[in-house]
Amino acid sequence: MKNQTKAYILAIFAVFFWSTVATAFKIALKELSVLQLLCVATYTTFFISGTYILITGKTKMLVAIKTKEILLFAVLGILNPIAYYLVLFKAYDLLPAQIAQPLNYTWPVVLVFLSAPLLKQSLRWNSFVALGISFAGVLVISYSGGRLSSGNIDITGVILAAGSSVIWALYWLLNARNGQDAVVKIFFNFMFGSVYITLLMLFFGGFDTLTLKGVLPAVYVGFFEMGLTFILWMSAMQLTDRNDKISPLVYLSPFISLIFIHFILGEKIYDSTFIGLFLIIAGIMFVRVFKVKSS
């Protein structure tokens, strides 16, 4: 089997698994608090990344980590998994999955605007057009049918879902400046994340009310949102001869996710969700296409 074929297979599996996690979030949150869900998922991802490092013989990389990098990972662990997933899970707790999920997908456009001050990159006209298109999608999803203005949609949830994209974009920028192996970075982020979430759980008494019915979907989240799926995706990117053959596949995920949301969670998918999601993805693709052309 050719490497490119293997890359497509791994990428398709990754996209499929990512398409299921919004549904898993809602199932887990029926039984667990936001803090409990994050705790179990963080432990799971830490275990998966550590196991992968042992199996692939990358333990030497752990020993070679410098003190400066350790301090960076300690900071990044606050952003991801702690801050990002606390905000995202709370948004899912307050909103229907079909609304929380697409609002979180605005992060690539936010990334462009954060790159300006952090990486000293200039903003082009297409960046503002892309932001406008994606923001129009956010408005369509949030306001269509008067659901937000009538109180049917929680405004705090909308702010949190959209705000999670800012946290993720900031994490992505800071993390990208570290040249370490991708899985090693995940391992250290979630190692520190495990420490932080343990302290939070001890402080707020979250261990007392954990249930097996809630733990199982939380473990699933750790596997297929944060851990194994990321490894599958990175492996696909390493096998492909051109990243642009693989990377567009990830934008299928939010649309496939709506199928699971409808048939498993029983949410009626509104036309406005499709329209808004299309606009958000269109804004992302717009800025990407013009970035490639300018390069």
Report how far residue 100's alpha carbon sits from residue 162's, in angstroms, rounded to the nearest whole number. Answer: 8
How high is the pLDDT of residue 146?
47
| pTM of structure | 0.89
Do 172 and 182 touch, CB atoms closer than 8 A? no
SS (H, E, C) the chain: CCHHHHHHHHHHHHHHHHHHHHHHHHHHHCCCCHHHHHHHHHHHHHHHHHHHHHHCCCHHHHHCCCHHHHHHHHHHHHHHHHHHHHHHHHHHHHCCHHHHHHHHCCHHHHHHHHHHHHHCCCCCHHHHHHHHHHHHHHHHHHHHHHCCCCCCCCHHHHHHHHHHHHHHHHHHHHHHCCCCCHHHHHHHHHHHHHHHHHHHHHHHCHHHHCCHHHHHHHHHHHHHHHHHHHHHHHHHHHHCCCHHHCHHHHHHHHHHHHHHHHHCCCCCCCHHHHHHHHHHHHHHHHHHHHHHHHC
- The C-alpha atoms of residue 50 and residue 73 are separated, in whole angstroms, by 15
What integer pLDDT is reported at residue 198 of this predicted model? 96
- Closest of 215, 191, 198, 193 to residue 47, by C-alpha: 191
Q: What is the pLDDT of residue 119?
A: 67
In sequence order, what are the residues at sequence separation of 6 or more whose Cβ sits closer than 8 angstroms to the Cβ of residue 9? none
pLDDT number for residue 292: 47
| Angle of helix 97-104 versus helix 155-176 axis, rounded to 10 | 30
Q: Which residues of the chain have pLDDT under 50?
A: 145-146, 149, 292-295
107-126 pLDDT, tens digit each: 877 877 787 776 666 667 67
**pLDDT digits over 172-202, tens only?**
888 877 778 889 999 999 999 999 999 999 9
pLDDT given for residue 251 in this prediction: 83
pLDDT, residue 295, reads 47
- State residue 132's pLDDT score: 82
Q: What is the pLDDT at residue 142? A: 72
> What distance in Å separates the CA atoms of residue 278 and residue 116, rounded to the nearest whole number?
26
Q: What would the two tokens of residue 225 be?
A: 């949102």
Q: What is the pLDDT of residue 76?
A: 94
Distance CA 141, CA 139 (A): 5
